[in-house]
Each structure stands twice: as structure tokens, then as C-alpha cells.
Structure 1
């Protein structure tokens, strides 16, 4: 019997039209999207027909991508596919909280809307960018980051680490990498995320989710692996609040997360939402894993049929 993990993508995988197919064909998805639209009017229009620049703004990206991610998971569960573990990359971790029952789904959506605003404000206060660095020795890259005053933040998979920081410092790092013949790719994000520049956003999110009049926090029904620790979430309320809040200003230990999931017996990974970035990370981290992606009705039906076999 396969042990299944749902994985939820983070910023950078967004595109106009994401989630529309599932919205039009899955009743439960439509109902949740319509509820989300009452919380944040205009979200569906941004998702289905927003411009690239509009969707790149963090305050828009996060609620839109949250819905696209969770739509695939809702459709999977509705089709009889249940996860044994869950993990989300950056904002995807808030989706994971909603799917695990740590937060009600609509509360998780409200939280990600606040998270997007807080991170946008932090990004506006300190212009920054992020690049994925390919096939460079980890220790050498970390030393280079220290030299240029930037931060290695997302440990994605063997041979890929994302670096984040101030724009001018990142530009100087790019020059140094080019001189060394190291390949890098700029990411479609709008700020120096997962760095100390996000500390104010972390504190704001901690205050937000700690408001007992707004949020009810529960023990996860399904284990949620945290970006910050690469281990399942704690089962106490304060630990949960600290974990999701501090994630914003700390590194994402994704490679370690995947390895820990595999060690716990997970052999099937389903990326829920747009793109196949996380699927690529799994392929390079967990040899022999079963890897699927669900982003629309066709891919949903295909995955459900495959798993039935």
C-alpha cells in the first residue's frame, strides 16, 4: 500500500488561469473559492485573468496560489485519495495547515491573505530578489553568501540552493557566480524572502494567528512537515504559532524534509497546484519515488486512475 504525501507549491509557480478548470468542474472547489472571494473580493479575477506583474506582487500571489494549491488537494480527497503526510513550500505550508485541520480552510485563507500583505510591506521596505544557484558546493556557496551579505535560504534538493537578499548585493553575487561559471536562475518573486528582512512580517503574523478571537488552532490530523525544522509540526498551540510565524524569516529545509518523509515510509508524492517544481525536487532527492502532479481535471483523473492500479 502506497504511503502518500501531498506537496504544496510556493511563490514562483503562479500563472493566470490556474485553478479555473477545477473551479468549473468540482463542486467542493467552487464552494470554497466562492467563500474565499467573499473574504478577499477580486481574488478569482486575479487568479483566472491577472497579468504577470499583478500575480507577481506578493500580496496577490499568496492568496491566489493558496487557492490553486488547495483546489487540487480538495479534488483529490473528494476522489478518495487521502494523504499520510503533508508539506508545503513557503506559503504552501499555510495550505498544508488548512488541509491537515490545524486551521479551518477558510481561516487558513484569511491567514495567507494577511501573510501576503505583511511580506509585501517588508519587501517594499527593502527591495530584494532571489536566485536559484545550480550545482555549486554548499560550503563554498555559503561562504560566498557571507562575503556578499546575502542569505542561502531554500535548500531545495541536491545541487540547488536559493539565495535571497538586497537587489544590489544579489547583482554582485551574480557577477561572481558568472565569473566562476556557476549557473543560476532568477526567481519570479518580489522580495528578499526567508531572510532577517522579513522579521517584522514574522512578528506581525505571530500576532495575527495568536488572536484567539480570529483563529482556532488544532492538532494536525495529518502530520505536517515544517520548512524550518524539516520535522512534523509540534502538537502544542504555542509551538504551532512559532513554527508558522518564524518560517517567513528562516530557511526552507526542503531537501531534508523530503528525506525525512521518505525515511518515515512515504513513497508517493503528489504535487498539488500549478507547475512541477516540487516534483523535480523529489525526483532529485528521493530516487525511485512515485511522483505525480495535479493541477486540473485531466491530471486529477489520471492520477486517481494510476493510484487505483
Structure 2
């Protein structure tokens, strides 16, 4: 069975999507439509902007979404997923690719999500840190014992977990994790504490937008971050999307469940190859590839 997976924040690079724009007429049309929907030329920042410009959450999230979704749409008849999943922001790309959301609504939601997260980040200093070389339960236990808000946020692959919360609490947890034997506990250059209780103001703001958006039954199951299980019910999809901002990304568990349910081949749709690397660390025998656009789309 063939799974298609969609990356999240961090996969961006200057020049992303330019080859698509120049070589696939459908892609050019969709990028121009995106500029109109967003009210600014995001293509200028994607194709020619500096890395610093692309790092702003309000730009990064729609940029990665557009690259992934437009690439999926240029695959034409070859895009026949048995299942889909996306890492954090990538879940929105997966939902549009699987027909649960239309292009315009998906882009509007991603833009609103990015702005809401940016606002939440500015309310209180917060951060994230990558922890390597410890079992998940050890990291969870140390977070629970640490004073202040710090939680497990991204279960990326065995031995690689990202924690998230208040700056001081994350720093304290990193010291404890190193003492416990972590190979690395490194604060990340991110704007705030994504997938933690610190995102509650953004969750409330996004909830209203999601509730007012029309969702359809997807063409195949989507393995959502919050549950790490196959979902096809529109109301369940919406509820999980709302919960996602303050809940952890269970990527390890999602990939494991997809494999249990029959996935043998994973195609990453979007910039970079981060998810392929994580899939290989979760299940070495899995086949992984990058999606290639179709110029005739």
C-alpha cells in the first residue's frame, strides 16, 4: 500500500517551488491564485526571498503548504494514495491532497493558523528543544518533574523527541535530560512553543475558523497527529485539527500504525526529505521516495 506524507515547518528553503512554477502550467495558475487569496506575493518570498524572510511563521506555513499541495496536484492520475499523513502543518496539506478540504479553504486556514501561532508566541517567551538518545517515557517523566510548562511536543522517531514550553522550563529540562544521559538536548531556533499549552490562545482562534469551514470525506484515510490512527469522519478530522495546536505530534506512532495497516511505500510530497529520513528510522525496510511533478498536469 502506498502512503503519501507531507512535511511541516522547517522544510522551507529559498527558491522552493520555482521549478514547479516555471515548468507546470497548473502550478503557475495555483501559485498566482494563492497570491490573490493571501493578498501579497508569497511567490516572491518563496522564489527569491532570503532564508530570514522565509523563517517568519506567517510566511513559512503557507509557503510549505503551497509547495506540497501544488506538487500533489501536478502528479495527476499517478496520485492514488491508500493513506496520507502530514507532520504538524503538513496535516493541512494532506487533507487538501486527499480531498477533505478545497485548495482555497486549506490555504486560508493555514494562513490563519500561522498568524494565530505567531500572536501566541508574542504573548510570552517560549521555545522548543530537540532531545536525542533517550526513550520517550524518560523524556516525558523529566518534563513532568520540571517546574513550569514543558511537555513532549514532537515524537519524530525512536530516540528523537522535541520538547516545548516556557523558556526557563525548557532550559531546566534540557539540563536534567543531559544528566539523565541524553546524547543531545538542544534549544531550537524557533519562534515559540508549538504543540504545547502555550498555544491555547491560537487554538481558540483557529477553532472558530475550522468550525466555519466546510470539510468533505477524504478519498482515503488520514492518520492524524493527535490520534496516530486512521480517520475518515469529517467531524473527527475537525476536532483533531483543533486539538493539534496544543497536543503532541505523534509522528512515530502514526508511521508505525500506517505500517501495521499495510503501508510499504512512503512518498514525501513537498520541500526536503526530512520525513523520509524519519520513516527510515522508524522502519528500516520501508521504501521512501520524493514526489516528482508532471509538466503536463
Kindly provide the CA deviation profile for residues 94-116 of structure 1, in whole angstroms up to 9, marking residues without a partner as x. Answer: 11111111110121011100010
Question: Equivalent residues in 2 for 1:231-250 (5 A)?
Answer: 231-237=229-235, 239-250=236-247
Per-residue deviation, 1:71 = 2.7
Taking a change above 3 Å as real, the CA distance of residues 75 and 53 of structure 1, as seen in their structure-2 partners, is: same
Distance 1:14 1:266 in 2: 27
Q: CA 1:37–1:231 in structure 2 vs 1: closer, same or farther (change >3 Å)?
A: same
Whole-angstrom distance in 1 between the partners of 2:188 and 2:280: 20
SS class of match (1:249): coil
1:184 aligns with 2:185: yes
How many pairs are equivalent?
A: 290
Equivalent residues of 2:135, 2:158 under 8 A apart: no
- Output the CA distance in 2 between the equivalents of 1:133 and 1:120: 24
Does the residue aligned with 1:274 lie in a helix, a strand or coil? coil
The match for 1:133 is 131
- TM-superposed deviation, 1:198: 0.9
Take 1:187 and 1:276, find their aligned partners in 2: how far apart are those partners?
19
**8 Å Cα contact 2:142/2:177 also seen in 1:** no
- Give the distance between the partners of 1:17 and 1:168, measured in 2 at CA: 36
Please give the alpha-carbon distance, in whole angstroms, between the structure 2 residues aligned to 1:85 and 1:27: 27
Q: Which 5+ residue runs of structure 2 have no aligned equivalent?
A: none
Q: How does 1:283-298 map to 2 (within 5 A)?
A: 283-294=280-291
TM-score, length of structure 1 as denominator length? 0.88
* Separation of aligned partners in 2, 1:245 and 1:137: 28
Are 1:12 and 1:187, in contact at CA under 8 Å, matched by a contact in 2? no
Point out where structure 1 has 5 or more consecutive residues left out of the alignment.
Answer: 302-309
Contact 1:193 1:248 in 2 (8 A): yes
Which digits, 9 at most, give the CA deviation of each residue in 1:78-133, with x for residues without a partner?
Answer: 26232111101000001111111111012101110001011111111122221221
Is 1:53 matched with 2:52?
Answer: yes
Are 2:229 and 1:228 aligned? Answer: no
SS of 1:17's partner is coil
Q: Give distance in 2, aligned partners of 1:52 and 1:181.
A: 34
The question of 1:110 aligning with 2:108 is answered: yes
Q: CA contact under 8 A between 1:58 and 1:189: conserved in structure 2?
A: no
1:23-102 alignment, distance < 5 Å? 23-40=21-38, 41-76=40-75, 78=76, 80-102=78-100
SS at match of 1:152: strand
Other structure's SS at 2:74 match: helix
